[in-house]
Structure 1
Amino acid sequence: MRPDMTQQDDDLVSERDFRRLWAGTTVSQLGSAVSMVALPVVAITVLDASAFQVALLSVIQAVTIVVVAFPAGRYIEFRAKRPVMIWSDIARCILLFSIPIAAFSGWLTFAHLCVAALVNAAGQIASSGAAQAHLKALVPAERLMSANSRLESTRWLSVLVGPSLAGPLIGALSAVGALIVDAVSFVVSAWSIRSLRTPEPQPPAREPSPSRRAELFAGWGFVRGHPVLRRMFASWLVFAGASAMATPLSSLFYLRDLGFTPWQYGLLMGLPSLGGFLGARLAPRMGRRFGLVRGLWWVSLWRGPWYALIPLASPGTAGLLLCGLGFAGVLFFSGLANSTMTTYRQLGTPDHLLARVSTLWIFATNVTQPLFIAFGGLVASTLGTRAGLFLVAAFMCGSGLFLPRRSEDHA
């Protein structure tokens, strides 16, 4: 057989494997979007949980990610990635299935939901860290941008479709029954990973390290010393923090200041995600035209100004359209930016550091966002919600200034 035919066969298998992985990821993301809505409903309707207890479920997930991130990155780094992804899916599936079983048996407790939230968060960070590292091995470098684009577009689609599916599913199956949908989605995800035919490369060998601590924080050390990734990391933290800060402020602004109805609010939370979907799909074309670093710089500068349209809105249909346009614009350029940044990070990070760099991003995001949310609440309580939203837009605009304009700009 000719060498070029062998290469074509390998490329075909790789493409088929990616499609399987993509399909499993899509189903899992949709299931998780349903679960995100259903789990608090179970706590409230089945266990009569207080507002503090419902909030505690979110706190447990965030704290788990912060505590587990660095050890998980170190553990995953030197092991085969597919088993980590599969067992993460299986663990989350079992915990989710246990909730309906306990509820129907009359044994469900709030502590049970807390354990489920903890395991779900730990499984999420393990699966995400392993998947980021594995994708680089599964997909050729020249197709990595396209692969990230498809995965990113699916994420935005799940944000749009998942909560919309949750309502009818909860109505038809109850909130407890809807959790079974998420549990089944993890089975599909695990099966899709198990069905991959491309041999997984051997995990990187553990290199000599002066201490366990140095090995644990090697991802941070690499990013800090990398002239481009360091600035991407700072830019991402500011933008992610501003986005988290925007969530409670925009809810107050839409419902209280502008007087939008619940269905209008739901529309604003979901429909603009189409902008993120479209941006993610166009990311490969943008990357080919401008390059990864220059392209990320451009789209990051365009991302923030759109958000300034939201605090300019007034009550009524025109205000609703203006808010939708502003949010969709932010998400469109976010879809472009996220796919580009992820691809550069994968290509620019050595294989033996990929999992630790990926989990570093997740850790830092979960630490930074609560600080921005608290700061936004303080600004809104003293200067008003509009002022807080203008500040969000300023942070979003400023996040692009951290980035180099081209890869040789190391200053």
Structure 2
Amino acid sequence: MPSAAPPRLVRVDEVAAGASSAGRPAEVLRVPAFALFWSATTIRAFGSAAAGVAFQVLIVTVINATPIQISVLSALGVVPYLFLGLIVGALMDRWRRQRTLVLTSIGRALALAAIPVMLLTNTLSFWTLAIVVLILGVLTLFADSAAQPLLPLLVPRRSLVVANARLGQSATVAATAGPAAGGALLNLIGAPLLFALESVILAVSALLQSRIKVSEAGAPARVPGRHIGHDITEGFHYTYRHRTLRPLALSVHTWFLAHSIVTTLFGVFVLRELDVPEWAFGLILAFGGVGGFVGAMLAPRTGARRGAGRAILLGRGLTVAPWLALALLPVTPTTSLVVLVVVLSAVQFIYALSQGIEDANEMGYRQAAAPDAMQGRMNSTIRTANRVVFFIGALVSGAIATALGYRFAIGLAAVIFAGAALIIAFSPVRRARHEDDHSIAGLSEEGFPPAQTAPTASPEV
């Protein structure tokens, strides 16, 4: 098999990134390229969270969707990841990632702008909305696949945890405050103007992304006889033969299985089984937003002091406690509402706290461990497997709860979460640190595929 084309490697200037002389990562928001990237991501997250409320209103009140139609619309957001995830990931190791971000933001702006037009012309139906949702799903897949491998080119390697933490903080705030803002705007200006506003926000995001100054190599030369299937296979082999990425990937796949169960069942369990009022349910979910923000704040310091592996293990371990407690505690509909709100808020807070701690450290380590030429495929391989696992888990969780009860299903999720933590605890990931030398010798020993020509990378990449 011919060797792959030379990877795209870019040296990140630590002086421009503002790294401290003491060797600690500087505040990444002072890095102009990352500041633009963060700003574009943040305003898009707020806009999407606000528009999500309007989407729900359209589905229920405008097109009067049936339960089956609602399920179809929900599935259309995931389907692109299942069928195109690996292909798009391979393309992101061939294409310019910044340009992809700009084009996808413009594409999403145009797709959302079609909704107010259809509302005003009375042409919005289930099928037209389904087409828009599918287009948005495909464009979001391209955007996500470009953003993850682009980030390591914007900040030094030792600043990746801080950068991911900043992104996590703003995403948490957007997910918490965005729906409330969307509901207020929906009542104030109506659905057509809200979607038009979201379209403008995406256009602004595209403008900010276009101003990011980053050096990306051109498309690699085409190797005779080599097609995208070879690239996908190479990315798969790299990820699952890598000494630390393999157990890290298996752990996150296991985590996603449990996550799919609790995500699917928590709302139904709280609202139907425990008979918690809707206003109290909203308050409970808000504590999850607070926990996620606190976790993202703690993530860089935790990773620096304990190491990437132990920080990830801490997050995985914390995840078990709230769901095991919820499965075992004798809370019932007759329990005081105050007690229910306190217990359920603690579950959401600790769960989101654990995610905030582990997510920035996990993503930062993955981005530092893989060479630039493998970033798109490594991330898409893990992300696509996560979506498949989540899809399966969401389908079977209802059957488990129906047959054996909600508490059994939630307890089972806690056991699976524990399994994800044990994979980290008994693998080389536990000793991994962000400052590990991911040299070419190390990459070869950890599973860099023989067909791939090992690049000479600077320590900052």
TM-score band, normalised by the shorter chain? over 0.9
1:398 CA drift (Å): 1.8
Match 1:269 to one of 285, 290, 302: 285
- Residue 119 of structure 1 corresponds to 135
Match 2:301 to one of 271, 285, 291: 285
- Residue 351 of structure 1 corresponds to 372
For 2:191 and 2:67, the matched residues in 1 are separated by 18
**1:193-238 superposed Cα distances (whole Å, 9 cap, x missing partner):** 1122x33221573585755422123222111111211111111112
Q: Is the 8 A contact 1:309 1:322 kept in 2?
A: no
Residues 355 and 114 of structure 1: is their aligned pair in 2 closer, same or farther, counting only changes over 3 Å?
Answer: same
Residues 254 and 162 of structure 1: is their aligned pair in 2 closer, same or farther, counting only changes over 3 Å?
Answer: same
Match status 1:388 vs 2:388 = no
Q: Is the 8 A contact 2:87 2:228 kept in 1?
A: no
For 2:98 and 2:314, the matched residues in 1 are separated by 35
Q: Is the 8 A contact 2:37 2:209 kept in 1?
A: yes
1:87 CA drift (Å): 0.4
**1:223-280 superposed Cα distances (whole Å, 9 cap, x missing partner):** 1111211111111112122112112311121112211001111122233211111111
Residue segments in structure 2 that go unaligned for 5+ positions in a row: 1-12, 20-28, 434-445, 447-461
Q: Is the 8 A contact 1:40 1:54 kept in 2?
A: no
| Residue aligned with 2:31, SS | helix
For 2:218 and 2:156, the matched residues in 1 are separated by 17
Residues 303 and 107 of structure 1: is their aligned pair in 2 closer, same or farther, counting only changes over 3 Å?
Answer: same
Match status 1:34 vs 2:59 = no
Which shifted more, 86-95 or 141-150?
Answer: 141-150
After superposition, residues 147-158 of structure 1 pair within 5 angstroms as 147-158=163-174
- Residue 160 of structure 2 corresponds to 144
For 2:234 and 2:167, the matched residues in 1 are separated by 27
Letter in 2 for 1:182: E
Residues 206 and 285 of structure 1: is their aligned pair in 2 closer, same or farther, counting only changes over 3 Å?
Answer: farther
- Residue 10 of structure 2 corresponds to none
For 1:367 and 1:153, the matched residues in 2 are separated by 26
1:82 CA drift (Å): 0.8
Q: Quick check: which one's helix share is greater? A: 1
Q: Is the 8 A contact 2:33 2:214 kept in 1?
A: no
1:310 CA drift (Å): 2.5
Match 1:247 to one of 256, 263, 268: 263
Which shifted more, 17-26 or 357-366?
Answer: 357-366
1:15 CA drift (Å): 0.5
1:142 CA drift (Å): 1.8
Residues 76 and 100 of structure 1: is their aligned pair in 2 closer, same or farther, counting only changes over 3 Å?
Answer: same
After superposition, residues 93-112 of structure 1 pair within 5 angstroms as 93-112=109-128
Match 2:399 to one of 375, 378, 391: 378
- Residue 420 of structure 2 corresponds to 399
Match 2:63 to one of 47, 66, 75: 47
Which shifted more, 201-210 or 168-177?
Answer: 201-210
After superposition, residues 278-357 of structure 1 pair within 5 angstroms as 278-311=294-327, 312=329, 313-314=331-332, 315=335, 316-357=337-378
1:174 CA drift (Å): 2.5
Match status 1:202 vs 2:223 = no
1:32 CA drift (Å): 1.1
**1:145-181 superposed Cα distances (whole Å, 9 cap, x missing partner):** 1111101111221221112222112212223432223
Letter in 2 for 1:391: L
1:299 CA drift (Å): 2.4
For 2:238 and 2:199, the matched residues in 1 are separated by 37
- Residue 3 of structure 1 corresponds to none
For 2:171 and 2:214, the matched residues in 1 are separated by 26
Residues 77 and 100 of structure 1: is their aligned pair in 2 closer, same or farther, counting only changes over 3 Å?
Answer: same
1:7 CA drift (Å): 6.3
| Residue aligned with 2:81, SS | helix
Letter in 1 for 2:300: P
| Residue aligned with 1:304, SS | helix
Q: Structure 1-normalised TM-score?
A: 0.92
Residues 175 and 390 of structure 1: is their aligned pair in 2 closer, same or farther, counting only changes over 3 Å?
Answer: farther
Percent identical across equivalent pairs? 24
Q: Is the 8 A contact 1:307 1:327 kept in 2?
A: no
- Residue 459 of structure 2 corresponds to none
Q: Is the 8 A contact 1:125 1:359 kept in 2?
A: no
Q: Is the 8 A contact 1:280 1:335 kept in 2?
A: yes
